[in-house]
Amino acid sequence: MILEKLHTKHETPIQYAFADGTVLNERIGSAILLEFTGNIFCRKCAKPTKKSFGEGFCYTCFLSAPEASPCIVSPELCEAHLGKGRDIVYEEKHHNQPHYVYLAATDQVKVGVTRTTQMPTRWIDQGAREAIILAETPNRYLAGVLEVALKEMYSDRTNWQNMLRDIHEDTIDLVQEKWELMDQLPEDLNQYFTEDETLYSFEYPVLRYPEKVAALTLEREPRIQGILTGIRGQYLYIDDYLVLNVRRHTGYEVVWK
């Protein structure tokens, strides 16, 4: 099996499966074995590569593939609305499309950007407890500009260790946070603010949250064996405190038992 990001369904709790359809929720509480064969394949061209770059690319595709463009990480760099990019067809289909700017609660409130067709998947992949849409823009670039304007107040990154330990501020009220921001948005971006107060909540299949976590990588631990005790975001919990980021290992060939 070649690893890809875990597939999810927004249910209670979140349902998880490998890309080949293998359901994971039913294995929680049971012994599992994940063994790395040593082979890595590029997610774009499928060629063997000795090292993975940017979540699953060989170095050549990392430098050329539209899926690895700098604006994936930094939306404010997107030029799709100008008819530019690594692949104009890809940019038009994925980036010159409506995007949401959102607030999500993990350990604290963070701001983020996602294509409208990627919600709630984006929030689940981040391990968010709750999320709310702040604004809707006609393209990725404007969403990125709005996100940058809010970075002085909110982080755009998740503290993965706190998220996996379920450490969070109990006083977070995303609806209140959203309305307090309305008058603080730059005047030229205020037009994209949405009054939708829908609050999205997520429950993850975790037997118990650990007091500490230790990250596993298949390079250091090619054979991972233990009890699958939970899943949150894109992480598998092994024996409670050991965690493996599946998405980070995109393209790795493994044996799963």
Q: For the chain, list residues with pLDDT below 70.
A: none
SS3 249: helix
Residue 148: partners with Cβ closer than 8 Å, 6 or more residues away: 76
Inter-residue contact 114 to 103 (CB < 8 Å)? no
Can you give the pTM of this predicted structure?
0.94
Does the residue 58 lie in any domain? yes
Does the residue 131 lie in any domain? yes
Q: For 103-117, how does the pLDDT look when each residue is reduced to its tens digit (9 = 90+)?
A: 999 989 999 999 999
Residue among 81, 157, 80, 153 nearest 113 (CA): 157
Inter-residue contact 103 to 158 (CB < 8 Å)? no
How far is the C-alpha of 47 from the C-alpha of 159, rounded, in Å?
A: 33
Q: Give, in degrees to the nearest 5, the angle at Cα 247 between 109 and 65.
A: 100
Does the residue 132 lie in any domain? yes
Structurally, the chain folds into a number of domains equal to 1
Encoded tokens for 157: 């990154």
Please tell me the number of Cα atoms within 13 Å of 233 on its side-chain side. 23
Q: For 183-193, how does the pLDDT look when each residue is reduced to its tens digit (9 = 90+)?
A: 888 888 889 99
SS3 7: strand
Does the residue 123 lie in any domain? yes
Does the residue 23 lie in any domain? yes
Residue with tokens 């490998």: 18
The pLDDT, as a whole number, for residue 42 is: 98
Q: For 58-92, how does the pLDDT look when each residue is reduced to its tens digit (9 = 90+)?
A: 999 999 999 999 999 999 999 999 999 999 999 99
Does the residue 2 lie in any domain? no
Residue 241: partners with Cβ closer than 8 Å, 6 or more residues away: 210, 211, 212, 213, 214
How far is the C-alpha of 153 from the C-alpha of 97, rounded, in Å?
A: 26
Does the residue 55 lie in any domain? yes
Strands (E) located in 89-156? 99-105, 109-115, 130-137
Distance of CA 107 to the CA centre of its chain: 15
Q: For 135-150, how does the pLDDT look when each residue is reduced to its tens digit (9 = 90+)?
A: 999 999 999 999 999 9
SS3 23: strand
What distances in angstroms separate CA 101 from CA 75, 120, 123, 135, 145, one per listed residue?
11, 13, 12, 5, 10
Domain holding 52, by residue range, is 7-256
Does the residue 1 lie in any domain? no
